[in-house]
Amino acid sequence: MNPQRPPTDINDAIGKILRYGVALSSVVVAVGLALIILAPPPGAPGTLQGTLAVNFGRPTLSPTALLAGIGRGSAVDVLQLGLLLLIATPVTRVAASVLLFLREKDMLYVGVTLLVLLMLLFALFVVGPYEA
């Protein structure tokens, strides 16, 4: 680590990413829940068992469909956006760590953190859709 910058700078930056990411996703999920309570989506099953049986609210794999649903005010799409933000928060934290370690010229941690980031992205974008 560079002796000019205390390690708390990195911890502070990472902490802010995690706090703001969780706060933002919580607000979006709360808005989605409020929309569902105020106006249940058309065709929504009446019970949890019915929801699971018909696979209602299955993941939207198309970003354009998700954005279109949010534009329509679809409660399910707003909830999915909130969950995507929650999932993206730790990934963003790892990506920021790569940049922060690069700034500190700590190449060992850059390499290790970059490997972790690549494994996360592989799991999300290669294994995840394959399993769905």
pLDDT tens digit sequence for 83-100: 999 999 999 999 999 998
Residue count (the chain): 132
Q: What total number of domains does the chain contain?
A: 1
With respect to residue 2, please indicate whether it lies within any of the assigned structural domains.
no
Q: Grade residue 125 by pLDDT with cuts at 50, 70 and 90.
A: confident
| Residue closest to 89 by CA, chosen among 43, 22, 31, 41 | 22
With respect to residue 117, please indicate whether it lies within any of the assigned structural domains.
yes
With respect to residue 3, please indicate whether it lies within any of the assigned structural domains.
no
Query: Do the Cβ atoms of 117 and 109 come closer than 8 Å?
Result: no
With respect to residue 82, please indicate whether it lies within any of the assigned structural domains.
yes
The dihedral over CA atoms of 5, 20, 91, 70, expressed in degrees to the nearest 10, equals -150
With respect to residue 12, please indicate whether it lies within any of the assigned structural domains.
yes
What is the SS3 assignment for 104? Answer: coil
The tens digit of pLDDT for each residue in 9-24 reads 778 888 899 999 999 9
With respect to residue 23, please indicate whether it lies within any of the assigned structural domains.
yes
Structure tokens at 8: 């708390």
With respect to residue 60, please indicate whether it lies within any of the assigned structural domains.
yes
* Residues contacting residue 35 through CB under 8 Å, at least 6 positions apart: 73, 74, 75, 78
Range of the domain at 83: 8-131
Query: pTM of the predicted model, to two decimals?
Result: 0.74
**Average of per-residue pLDDT values in the chain:** 83
The tens digit of pLDDT for each residue in 58-75 reads 666 678 888 898 998 888
